[in-house]
Amino acid sequence: MELIWFAVFSLLLAGYFALEGFDLGVGLLLPVLGRSAATRDRMVAAMAPYVLANEVWLVAVAGTLFGVYPALEHEVLFGLYPVVVAMLLSWVVRDAGLWFRRRAGGARWRGFWDLMIALGSLGLSFGWGTALYGVVTGSWLSPPGLMLGVLVTLLFAFHGWTFLAWRSPGLAGVTRSGRALAISGGAAALPAAGVLLGSMPYLLDHSAPAATLGVLSVIALPFAPVVVAAQVWVWRTFRPGKDAVRIPSFF
């Protein structure tokens, strides 16, 4: 039972890195590739249909942390207090940028929120590197922690670029296959997967008691096929093609 929930937790966290990683990567690339407002519109439109289905993986990670590893929640979240607060604020600002950028006219309005998307994506990507290092070592404010922040940011940017090249080749200047996207997703998930594997014995040892895991299994696991089907439906509906990136897009 502990093993099943460790697998669920790991899948959710690594899945978050592999999926939301490209959304954050596209956000990071906005000021780099998106020199014109029209290009930025197309870049955001390329990722827009996936964002809601991707970011929710982290919401599920946090819920699973509370349900399956209540004893660890304190260590992980409180131990990294300033990092977690900064990451939350980055996430909030990134999301607000996406929802608000097209809600009013004016190039300056849209330009401002595009900057917020880029800064929020940067804060969240960099924060993930330092947070992962902090979880393992207990101290995040150190040269290796900051280096991991830079590494995760670069991995996400590369993943975002691969995603653009897959879904809308004109934006990245090259074309990449779905297989290349899967590989860059795997690369983006590597830091998270490494930490998960390393802390596996510790996590298994600190799982919630059998009664709680039993209830969670009985009521949550039957929905797993539905959740997977919904995610597959997103990927099928918005797959690349002649008319993949539509303007106007809601984001």
Partner 1 sequence: MEALELARLQFAVTGGLHFLFVVLTLGLAPLVAIMHTRQALAGGPLRERMTRFWGQIYVVNYALGIVTGLVMEFQFGLSWSGLSHYAGDVFGAPLAMETLVAFFLESTFLGLWIFGWGRLPKWAHVACIWLVTLTAYASAFFIMAANSFLQNPAGAVESGGRLRLVDFGALLTNKALVFSFPHVIGAGLFTGAMVLAGASAYQLRRRTSEVEFFSRSLRTGVVVAAIGIFLTVGFGYAQFSGVQEGKLSQAGLPFAVMVESGNLLMLLVLFVMLPMIRVLPRWRWTHPVLMVLTPVPFVLAIMGWLVREMGRQPWMIWGKLTVADAMTPGLTTSMITGSLVGFAAVLGLLAVVDYVLIARVVRRGPRDLDLGSVREPALTY
Residues of this chain that bind partner 1 (CB under 8 A): 48-53, 55-57, 59-60, 62-68, 70-71, 73-74, 76-78, 81-82, 84-85, 88-89, 91-93, 95-96, 99-100, 102-107, 208-209, 211-212, 215-216, 219-220, 223, 226-227, 230-231, 233-234, 237-238, 246-250
Question: What is the DSSP secondary structure assignment for residue 243, as one 8-state letter?
Answer: T
Instruction: For residue 123, give the 3-state DSSP assignment.
Output: helix
Instruction: For residue 101, give the 3-state DSSP assignment.
Output: coil
Nearest approach in angstroms of CB 147 to partner 1 is: 25
Please say which residue, 127 or 157, places its beta carbon nearer to partner 1: 127
Retrieve residue 190's tokens: 């590597």
239: left (phi over 0), alpha (psi -120 to 50) or beta: beta
Backbone angles phi, psi at 46, to 5 degrees: -65, -40
Please say which residue, 179 or 229, places its beta carbon nearer to partner 1: 229
Contact present, 249 and 110 (Cβ < 8 Å) = no
Nearest approach in angstroms of CB 45 to partner 1 is: 9
Per 3-state DSSP, the chain is made up of helix, strand and coil in percentages (nearest 5) of 85, 0, 15
CA-based nearest residue to 20, from 163, 223, 173, 197: 163
Please say which residue, 1 or 65, places its beta carbon nearer to partner 1: 65
Residue with tokens 């590739």, as numbered in its chain:
33
Please say which residue, 89 or 146, places its beta carbon nearer to partner 1: 89
Nearest approach in angstroms of CB 154 to partner 1 is: 25
Please say which residue, 183 or 213, places its beta carbon nearer to partner 1: 213
Please say which residue, 79 or 183, places its beta carbon nearer to partner 1: 79
Retrieve residue 55's tokens: 């970011």
